Structure 1
């Protein structure tokens, strides 16, 4: 990671405490010094203090002189960023660097060859064929592709921007708010520098998380959200092989089962036009209710040191986000968790119905995927720390049971018909009692049919009674009799 600015990604070593119990840094006595809340390694970053009359010694005294030129260049690149709350160019570069390093088990990223590409396309074609018999939704994929890990990073980056930017924006605002009010008017350039560094820190963390996640995902819909381009079903052959390793299941069966899940997600997102906006709106609604732990941020900013930016990065790693305990925030979280559970539960139920008649290992693969989604991997946990949000369906089993019960009670068309409008979907309370929801739905529809029948019959009787009272219909009467 030496090519990452200032050693980003390497957890900082904890400095030893002095005799007074304070950790060294800032002005050298553990305080923030007269320069205000920004300890740049000396009391005054532009002269005096720990560096004497040499401002560069004050700012970069801990660096090896041989690395000073590279440090200045990297710092300049970091501070020259003037974009949004996340430096996405840096995020992409670091994600690709992380991918290039390989996974902890030694698996390297390689370009997808023709043989693997053909296997993926055939698996997705067969998956769509099997799904035709278990869902009323037609195929949602116009093409089938096989991605390397680096290609997954490139293809999904636009969607990650939508997910992360709202939370990162709150941090950028909070970084300015930690300054005392009387200093904010005088600290314009400094605030700009802080936002640039914040964008770089977020870019670093997100890049590392995406690079690690690229080593785990098997397709474009693993987290229950449509991360890739619309209508493009994708699998990552290297990760599919790694997923099946140690399961004692033929690799062809593993690939086909994962293709069924990818194809099922594609159908749902393609033919429920409001679903994507519903999910992303829930994420954004949750992000709006997140507050930043300003005490932790203030402490990190107060000891900000250009020669040791890992301190701020470490604060990001520890998590600075606290959901507000308000009815609106609780509702946003419940809405998001329920939506994710319903998506994953529907996919789970539909894929099992399609796979069980054909794949002997369908039950075992289903349980493996359920546990994987429920626990989340290291990358998902990193992302949860970073943006304060776990994109995991906590109630997948309840939702899957509900969809299966609806299939038994109302058939495939009746089950899939609930996706016609968000108000028709089960709620979080319905997941507590799936059988009650199914029974209630049956009653509602039967009562509605009865009411409509009675209304239609009553209308016919009323018409006939009116006709009898008038002495028959108007047919055959003269114009003056009508």
Structure 2
């Protein structure tokens, strides 16, 4: 975090808040203390399964090796190559994953929150002017307390998710994208599933390497996804005068989310926003489905027990306990599971019709990405793109 340069301190305007009345407006990106969230989440999260020092060292070494070994099979199967000079995979523990994602979330959401706060502040100013009064400034102490409270809430979410993720291609809007393997979660999963550790580690690496090749072999894709996510995030925040109404609608719909009758993204979005959200969801379904297909099609010549791993892993996805399922629904992770399934069906159907090279036309431009209806109707995408 960058330090704030020292400036002369004027006399306080009011007791209890040392911020002068001329203080600048609080920016939206300052509403969450991401550094605090990362530190707090790192303290909350359990370290993972018990393992001796030698086992941990061997795990880290093998995961790094799996990341390197996955490059060739993915390139051959997907017919896409990660460019030379791309940073190698980074093996992290749960706090390491949390730090990386807190930084990325802050960079991803910063412009969104800035836009939201700017719109609200302008609406408040207009109402204050109409009422003939002056809009009070938000003191730095008040803002700091608010960002810490929000950071605490984010910390709880990050700590829980950090126990579930096996690997990730971190888009890192603020810096250099990087492939991450979360070592304790991989160790925990392979023990739970009772699968061959070497095969399982390579299987996970192939899935994540596919994501890396998607975003590195297709130069425009990373920024397109970042811009799309920021755009829909900004659109989904209600206008200030509708905030109370939308909160009431969300609260009333939460029981349906918890019962699995709908997902949280549908609750948060208005009917108009759902169209934009469907476009983003279609792209995410493509990315996740493509990675799942490549992961399975690498085949037993590279991963001898691939069929057994897939069978047991699918059972694990379905076998979460009630509390775990509830949290997944609240965080939208149930929708992510559907993305794997729907996207994989789309990829296989298109490949059956036009082959791998024909499927890879999907990466030509944003216009060739599948539209929401085409995920469920692959032939429509083939007809539109291939004629």
**Structures share a fold, TM > 0.5?**
yes
SS at match of 2:336: coil
Instruction: Specify which structure has the bigger relative contact order, considering alpha-carbon pairs within 8 angstroms and separated by 6 or more residues.
Output: 2
Q: Distance in 2 between matches of 1:241 and 1:82?
A: 47
Deviations 1:421-459 (A, max 9, x none): 121232222122224544x36972xxxxxxxxxxxxxxx
- Deviation at 1:217? 1.5
Matched, 1:404 2:357: no
Q: Distance in 2 between matches of 1:174 and 1:112?
A: 53
Listed as ranges, the matches of 1:372-411 within 5 Å are 372=317, 383=331, 392=336, 394-411=338-355
Listed as ranges, the matches of 1:10-409 within 5 Å are 84-87=27-30, 90-103=33-46, 114-139=57-82, 141-169=86-114, 172=117, 181=128, 185-190=133-138, 195-221=143-169, 226-227=171-172, 230=176, 232-292=178-238, 294-295=243-244, 322-326=268-272, 329-366=273-310, 368=313, 372=317, 383=331, 392=336, 394-409=338-353
- Deviation at 1:155? 2.6
The answer to whether the 8 A contact 1:285-1:332 is kept is no
Q: Distance in 2 between matches of 1:106 and 1:83?
A: 42
SS at match of 2:168: coil
**Which one has a bigger Cα radius of gyration?**
1
- Deviation at 1:394? 3.6
- Deviation at 1:167? 4.8
Q: Distance in 2 between matches of 1:334 and 1:288?
A: 15
Deviations 1:36-59 (A, max 9, x none): xxxxxxxxxx9xxxxxxxx99xxx
Q: Distance in 2 between matches of 1:98 and 1:372?
A: 24
Q: Distance in 1 between matches of 2:93 and 2:192?
A: 22
Q: Distance in 2 between matches of 1:107 and 1:382?
A: 30
Q: Distance in 1 between matches of 2:114 and 2:376?
A: 36
Aligned CA distance change for structure 1 residues 187 and 391 (closer, same or farther; 3 Å): farther
For residue 357 of structure 2, the aligned residue among 390, 393, 413 is 413
The answer to whether the 8 A contact 1:175-1:297 is kept is no
The answer to whether the 8 A contact 1:143-1:232 is kept is yes
- Deviation at 1:284? 1.8
Q: Distance in 1 between matches of 2:352 and 2:376?
A: 19
- Deviation at 1:226? 2.7
Please name the residue that 1:432 is paired with: 376
The answer to whether the 8 A contact 1:253-1:359 is kept is yes
Q: Distance in 2 between matches of 1:172 and 1:196?
A: 16
Q: Distance in 2 between matches of 1:278 and 1:391?
A: 21
The answer to whether the 8 A contact 2:30-2:147 is kept is yes
Aligned CA distance change for structure 1 residues 410 and 324 (closer, same or farther; 3 Å): closer
Aligned CA distance change for structure 1 residues 286 and 148 (closer, same or farther; 3 Å): same
Aligned CA distance change for structure 1 residues 344 and 214 (closer, same or farther; 3 Å): same
Q: Distance in 2 between matches of 1:170 and 1:112?
A: 48
Please name the residue that 1:9 is paired with: none
The answer to whether the 8 A contact 1:99-1:212 is kept is no
- Deviation at 1:339? 0.7
- Deviation at 1:204? 2.2
Structure 1 residue runs without a partner (length 5+): 1-45, 47-54, 57-71, 300-317, 445-482
- Deviation at 1:88? 7.8
- Deviation at 1:263? 0.9
Q: Distance in 2 between matches of 1:123 and 1:356?
A: 15
Q: Distance in 2 between matches of 1:294 and 1:263?
A: 41
TM-score, length of structure 2 as denominator length: 0.71
The answer to whether the 8 A contact 1:112-1:237 is kept is no
How many correspondences in the alignment?
341
Aligned CA distance change for structure 1 residues 138 and 190 (closer, same or farther; 3 Å): closer
TM-score, length of structure 1 as denominator length: 0.58
Please name the residue that 2:252 is paired with: none
- Deviation at 1:105? 7.5
Aligned CA distance change for structure 1 residues 209 and 255 (closer, same or farther; 3 Å): same
Q: State the superposition RMSD in angstroms.
A: 4.4
Aligned CA distance change for structure 1 residues 127 and 155 (closer, same or farther; 3 Å): same
- Deviation at 1:337? 0.5
Of Structure 1 and Structure 2, the greater helix share is in 2
Q: Please say which of residues 428-437 and 181-190 is displaced more in the overlay.
A: 181-190
